[in-house]
Structure 1
Amino acid sequence: MEVWYGAEQVPASLSEPGGPGAVVTIGIFDGVHRGHQAILERVVERARQWRPGPAPLAVAVTFDPHPRLVHRPQEDLPLVTSLTDRLVSLEALGLDAVLVIAYDLDFAAQSPEEFVRTWLAGLLGARAIVVGDDVRFGRDNAGDAASLEEIGRQCGMDVEILTAVSSQQGRRWSSTWIRQCLSRGEVRQACEILGRPHRLRGTVVHGLRRGRELGFPTANLEAATAGVVPPDGVYAGWLVRNGAVGGLQERLPAAISIGTNPTFDDVPRRTVEAHVLGRADLNLYGEEVGIELVEHLRPMLAFDGLEPLLERMRIDIEQTAAILGVPVPGPIDPEEVTAQ
C-alpha cells in the first residue's frame, strides 16, 4: 500500500485523462473498528469490480492530527490508534493507497464543495465515493451525506452511502465506545468492537531492571506516550515488533503490567511493562513496539514480600499462555538474562 503525505505525493497520472482514478472514502478511522471496516471493504470491492475501463485505485483519505485536537486543543482526546497503527490496519484491508492530509485551520476553512472538488474529484480523480451515513466534512462540518450526493452528481461521481453497522447489542460501532471500554479495563469488549486486540505503541525505555533480577525481564514503555492506556492491572497480550506499513510483524506472547508496582515504593511513574514469555535474549531498548491487549487478568496488587509476588507472576504467565494458546514457558534463570 502506498502512503501519500500531502497532495504533492499523489501521482499526477491518477487523475489525468485516461488515468485509473480512484474509489475513495474519507474519515479519521480512529481504531479502524468494525464500522470503518465495512466501509473500507466496500471501497476495495468496488475498485476491484469496476467495469468498464482500467480498474481505479482503492483510496482512503484520512487526517492528522485529529480535527478535534485542532479545533478544541484544551480537550483531552486520547486516540485509540496512533497514525502508524491506523495505516497498518488500513493496509490489512487491501487498500491501494492512503492520503494523509495535514489538518490545520486553513484546511478546515474549505467549504464542503471546495473540499470535494479540489481533493477528491481533482487530485484523486475519484470515480466513486463510499462513506457512512454519518459523514461530515468541510467548514463547520457543514457537509453531510445529502450534500455529498449532490456535489457528486455535479462532478460526475457516484456516491454510495452505507447505513450504520451495529453490534449484536444494537449499538453502533464507534471510537467513543472503544474509549469507554478501555477506560473500564474491558479490553475483551474493545477487541470485539475493533475486530482485533487494542494496541498501545511506544519506544522501549530503560526501567529499574528489577524484572531482570527476578527472572522476568520486561520491555518498558512510558505510559504517558503509549496511547489509550486502560486502568492499572495485569493483562494477557502480545508484543509486536516491526509493525510499520509494508513491514513483517513479529508477534510475541506477553504478560503485560500497567501502573506503578505497589509492592515496591521506587516506581515514580505509571508504566507499561511487557514480559515476553520464555525470552531472556531480546534487546529492545530504543525500539518502537506495539503492545496488544487481549484480556484483563487481575488488578494491580501489593504483595507482602518477594515470594508471594513471584508466585503470582508465575500464575499470571500460566494464565497468559492459556489465553493466547501458547506453551507455558519454563522459568528463566536471572543469570541467563542478556537483554530487555
Structure 2
Amino acid sequence: MTVFHRNEKKEPLPAELQGGVVAIGNFDGVHRGHRSVLDRALELASQRGVPASVLTFEPHPRSVFKPDQPVFRLTPAPIRARLLEAMGFRSVIDYPFDREFAQRSAEDFVQSILVDWLKASAVVTGFDFHFGRGREGGPAYLIDAGKRSGFDVALVDAFRDENSDVISSSRIRTLLSEGDVTQAAGLLGYRYTVEAEVIGGEKLGRTLGYPTANMQLPPETELKAGIYAVRFRRPDGSLHDGVASYGRRPTVTDNGAPLLETFLFDFSGSLYGEICAVSFFGYLRPELKFDGLDPLVEQMKRDEEEARTLLAGVTPLGALDAKIAFDLQSGNQG
C-alpha cells in the first residue's frame, strides 16, 4: 500500500494510481458510517477496473483551528492507513491541512488536487462534505465541477445504526469517555485499538507478580480511566490476551500522567521499545484506590479471572475486526 505524507504532496502520483476512484474525508475511526462511503468507492473502482484511493487530511482540521483543544483521535494516521489497506484501498493520501490550505478556493482544490494531481475519474464523499475557503464548495458545487472537469461524483447519505441514529466519530468518542468500549465497537465495526511504544516504568507490577507493558497515550485521549479486558498485538503479529489499567494509578502514585499498563497472560519476555497495539474488549471496573498493596493484588487476581472469562468467548464483529483483533489464519487468539 502507498501512503503519501505531507512532504510528498507535490510529487507526481505514480501512473498506476492515477485515474482512479477517490474517497474524500477525514475518516477518523473508519467507522461503519465512514465505510458506507468507502465501500461505495471500492465498488466503483472494481466496476471500472481502476485503483481506489483515499484522500484525507493531516492534522485533523479541528486541531488546526483550535490548537488549544486538540481532537481525541480514534485512529491516528498509521492505524487509519492499516484499516483502509485491510478494506482494499491501494493508496492513502495524507494531505497537509493548515490555515493556508484552508484559504484555498474550492475551484483551486478541484483543479490542482482532484484533476491535475490525482486525475480522478470519480469522487465519492459524504452528502455534507464541504471544502474550500469559507466552505464555499458543497455537494452541488462538486457535482457541477465534476461535469465540467470530467469526473463523476457519488454522494452517500449518512449511515444510521439499528436505532436509526447517525453513526459519527464524536458519538464514539463520547462512548469511550464513558468506558463503553462494547457499544463503541458496535459502531466502529471493530474493537477500539490504540498503538504506542512500550516504555519503562517503575517495575512495581513485576514485584507484585503482574509485570506490565506500559504505554503513554496522547494527552488528548479521553478513554475513561479503569480496568479493561484487552488483546495485545506485537510487531511480529503475535497476539496475547490480557488485562489493562488506564489511568493515574491512585494506589501507588498521586496524579501521575495517565498510563496504559497491560498485563499479558501467559507471557514472559521483554517488550521495551516495541510499537504494540492494544484492542479493548470490555470495561471491567473503575480505577480505585486501595488501602495498601495486598488488597490491590487480590483485586488484580479477580480482574485477571474476569478478563480471561470474557476474552474466552469473543468472536469477530466482522472481517475488519478479524484482521485487527484476531488471528484467524493461525487460530491463535491469545
TM (norm. structure 2) is: 0.88
Matching residue of 2:23: 25
In the alignment, the residues of structure 1 paired with residue 19 and residue 155 of structure 2 have an alpha-carbon distance, to the nearest angstrom, of: 20
- The aligned residue for residue 298 of structure 2 is 311
- Determine the C-alpha separation between the residues in 2 that align with 1:232 and 1:185: 8
Match of 1:269 among 241, 257, 281: 257
2:79 and 2:222 map into 1 onto residues whose CA distance is 15
CA shift, 1:227, in A, is: 5.9
The answer for the alignment partner of 1:4 in structure 2 is 4
SS at match of 2:108: helix
Shift of the alpha carbon at 1:251?
A: 2.7
Letter in 1 for 2:285: R
Partner of 2:167: 173
- What CA distance in whole angstroms lies between the structure 2 residues aligned with 1:229 and 1:70? 19
Query: In 2, distance between residues paired with 1:108 and 1:208?
Result: 45
For residues 16-57 of structure 1, what are the alpha-carbon distances to aligned partners after superposition, in whole Å with 9 as ceiling and x for unaligned? xxxx6110111111111111111111111111111xxxx211
**Structure 2 letter corresponding to 1:240:** R
Q: Structure 1's 32 and 233: CA in aligned 2 closer, same or farther, altered over 3 A?
A: same
Equivalent position SS for 1:95: coil
State the Cα deviation string for residues 46-99 of structure 1 (Å, max 9, x = none): 11111xxxx211010011111111122232422111111111111111001111
When residues 3 and 43 of structure 1 are mapped into structure 2, their CA distance, relative to the original with a 3 A threshold, is: same
* Residue identity matched to 1:298: R
Q: Which consecutive residues of structure 1, in runs of 5 or more, have no partner in the other structure?
A: 243-247, 328-340
**Match in the other structure for 2:41:** 43
Q: Is the 8 A contact 2:20 2:119 kept in 1?
A: yes
**1:237 paired residue number:** 230
Q: Which moved more, 1:55-64 or 1:69-78?
A: 69-78
Partner of 2:15: 13
In 1, the alpha carbon distance for the partners of 2:250 and 2:115 equals 57
Residue 121 of structure 2 aligns to a residue whose secondary structure is strand
1:93-145: per-residue Cα shift (whole Å, max 9, x none)? 10011111111222222111211121112211111111110111111222111
Q: 1:96 to 1:310 in 2, by over 3 A?
A: same
- One-letter code of the match for 1:106? E
**Contact 2:70–2:220 (CA<8 Å) still a contact in 1?**
no
Q: CA 1:94–1:208 in structure 2 vs 1: closer, same or farther (change >3 Å)? A: same
> How far is 1:195 from its partner?
0.8
Paired letter, 1:141: R
Distance (Å, rounded) in 2 between the aligned partners of 1:157 and 1:209: 58
Q: CA RMSD in A?
A: 2.0
> TM-score by structure 1 length?
0.86
